[in-house]
Structure 1
Amino acid sequence: MNNKFNKLTLAAAITAAAFASQAHAGGYQINEQSVSGQGYGHAGRSSNVEDATIVYGNPAGMSFLDRAQISVGGTYLNVNSDIDNASATRNGAPVTGSSEGDMVPGTLIPYAFYAHPVNEQLAFGFGVYAPFGSKTDYEDGFIGRNLGNYTELTVMSAQPTVSYRFNDQFSVGAGVTFNRVEGELKRQVPTFTFTGATPTGFQELDARIDGEDDGIGYNIGAIYRPVPETTLGLTYRSKVSYTLEGDYKAVDSDGNVYVNPLTGESQDKSAQLDLDTPETINFSVTQQMSEKLKLMFGASWTRWDRFDEILVTGPRGETITFEEQDYSDAWAYAVGGEYQWNSQLVLRAGVTLDKTPTSDQFRSARIPSDDRRIFSLGAGWSPTEDMTIDVAYSYLTERSTQVDQSRTDAGGTITSTYSADYKNEAHGFGAQLTYRF
């Protein structure tokens, strides 16, 4: 009766860890790979060549840099969530608990990029950054703990890159990404207590899963300048395939590994999940309006319909669980601008509209997100020709949304539900140092 509860937890654990990333980009991606770009809402991500962060934005842009440079920075994200009207049940009976909200701890997302033009045509570069990642930590006694109360994910990528400029108008670039994913998730799994073979009540097991894997992807880009004042950029980032190997353990209130009293099966096991993080396409245009002002527009598409199900298999290849997710492809749009106040100071601003890929029917406590708007301000100060210090601030607000979630445990004999209204917002504070050699 209870031998499937751990497997269902594994499915939610690895998948939620892999996709419940983010505070600043829809579809659980992280946008924080450039503070200079953050200032104008990343509207010119593929077309605005300013510093070494173009290694990520569009590898083709490196060959338009005039000299070698390094950009190092990070963005601190402070996420706030209000939860209202929260309720939960177990087999129809109310579950008691709290719903304090603010379950996302403050997080610093760092990065570093180096770009080295070899000559007027050829350039090499390298970057280290986080494309996915998050931590969600509900309080002890969270009312929705049977659905999920802790998620942590770290994805780090290393990207060697090359670009070639054919002439003053056109360049191409490509990079290979080496990616490492590590995830951990916890949930309080309900199961029966027994007298002999007769179920007499409920208990909650502290279930934990952590898994890891490596994956390889790539990105390619192109830049075209039909006239010196206009730059068009296009970047494609591939999907990355993982097979997460998970170690699962569930313990009782005394800290002992739980053993199914009917089957003698220990809840200390392994299982795996195949998943793909989706490919993305970004297009942007940068238009130099005058010597001091340039405007940018960008659009991004992410193929989230790849995430339409959770399929977890066991050691013998048997199907452990199947859960529908029904994600949809998503678009994001951004407009922004830069104003060169004087030779040392540039001012930036931007607005981003980001559609969520999540389904209303399957939205979960681990991923309670919806459509969002992001407003950004930034500035760059160059005290010398060799150094620039960039700062940025972004405010993100999401549309109010509702989670109405249920799942079964103990072979389908225990049904847990959780419903609540969520309102999420985030503040992002970024700083970056660029040094040119």
Structure 2
Amino acid sequence: MVGLIARGVGLEEISVDETPASLTLEYPQHFSVGASIKVTPRLKTNIDIKWTDTAVWDEWNIQFEESVQFLGVLGAIVQSLDQGTTGGYLGADSLVLPRDYESVWTWAIGFEYQYTDRLAFRLGYEPRGSSIPEDKQDLFVPIGDTKLYSTGFAFHWSRDTFIEGSLGYVHSEQDIPSNGSTNSTSTAIDNFIYNPYAGYNMKTELKVIVGEISIRSTF
């Protein structure tokens, strides 16, 4: 498609343009509140509620330090075909990627069982709803609804020394049908800015295993 457009505007060859670029991201506000409840003398549960203001990411504005000639030509074509499908902007000096993320509430729950006076076992679960609307899913942030499972322990080694360890598993998927997202599978004629799999069904899957151990002591 890019080659056809290039020849149509008289460019027989497309050179490779390289230029440094910058993107400034505002860190979203985050709020969390929790409660710890002692269910029995040995069993404790922790409940957290969180809110993240990812709606501040309505678009990402990437600025090029040097003009990119071909993007300027392509941007002019995009503007001539624009039907208001995607938003954003494409030009020789900048690229604006529409995000339209949403602020989300999430929750988490954890349990701690005091097995002995020195050893405690922990379990946790956190379902994180995605802040990315279904019609904006893509590969820039390939994360859909996410589930986090964790387990761990705390061991009171001595009067001044504590050992803690944890193991977590994160799983996330995106199923994006053909024409389901304006940022990846759209078939709209005016969608040139970022649409790498136009007309295709797309799926992403993220699996992460994380482990941590810490030793805390005073001396």
Whether these two folds match at TM > 0.5 is yes
Match of 1:272 among 15, 22, 26: 22
Report the TM-score when normalising by structure 2: 0.69
Instruction: Give the match's secondary structure for 1:384.
Output: coil
Match for residue 207 of structure 2? 425
For CA contacts below 8 A with separation 6 or more, give which structure has more relative contact order.
Answer: 1
Distance of 1:294 and 1:359 partners within structure 2: 36
Q: 1:335, CA displacement in angstroms?
A: 1.0
Instruction: Give the match's secondary structure for 1:367.
Output: coil
Say if 1:308 and 1:325, in contact at 8 Å, map to a contact too. yes
Match for residue 282 of structure 1? 32
Per-residue CA deviation, residues 175-230 of structure 1 (Å, 9 max, x unaligned), is xxxxxxxxxxxxxxx76888xx5426x7xxxxxxxxxxxxxxxxxxxxxxxxxxxx
Say if 2:19 and 2:64, in contact at 8 Å, map to a contact too. no
Match for residue 298 of structure 1? 48
Distance of 1:313 and 1:371 partners within structure 2: 30
Distance of 2:205 and 2:124 partners within structure 1: 23
The change in CA–CA distance for 1:191 and 1:382 in structure 2 (over 3 A counts) is farther
Letter in 1 for 2:29: E
Distance of 2:124 and 2:192 partners within structure 1: 51
Distance of 1:428 and 1:327 partners within structure 2: 27
Distance of 2:213 and 2:173 partners within structure 1: 28
* Pair 1:330-2:104 in alignment: yes
Say if 1:369 and 1:401, in contact at 8 Å, map to a contact too. no
The change in CA–CA distance for 1:414 and 1:331 in structure 2 (over 3 A counts) is closer
Letter in 2 for 1:288: K
Match for residue 134 of structure 2? 360
Match for residue 165 of structure 2? 391
Match of 1:379 among 153, 168, 190: 153
Distance of 2:159 and 2:40 partners within structure 1: 21
Letter in 1 for 2:102: S
Report the TM-score when normalising by structure 1: 0.36
RMSD across aligned C-alpha pairs, in angstroms? Answer: 3.1
Match of 1:339 among 81, 95, 113: 113
Gaps of 5+ in 1: 1-90, 92-189, 203-257, 260-266
Letter in 1 for 2:47: F
Say if 1:358 and 1:370, in contact at 8 Å, map to a contact too. yes
The change in CA–CA distance for 1:413 and 1:433 in structure 2 (over 3 A counts) is closer
* Pair 1:199-2:6 in alignment: no
Say if 2:173 and 2:203, in contact at 8 Å, map to a contact too. no
Say if 1:406 and 1:415, in contact at 8 Å, map to a contact too. no
Instruction: Give the match's secondary structure for 1:361.
Output: helix
Letter in 2 for 1:324: P
The change in CA–CA distance for 1:350 and 1:416 in structure 2 (over 3 A counts) is closer
Q: 1:353, CA displacement in angstroms?
A: 1.3
Gaps of 5+ in 2: 67-91
Aligned length, in residue pairs? 179
Instruction: Give the match's secondary structure for 1:327.
Output: coil
Aligned-residue identity in percent? 18
Say if 1:327 and 1:358, in contact at 8 Å, map to a contact too. yes
The structure carrying a bigger strand percent of its residues is 1
Distance of 2:194 and 2:146 partners within structure 1: 32
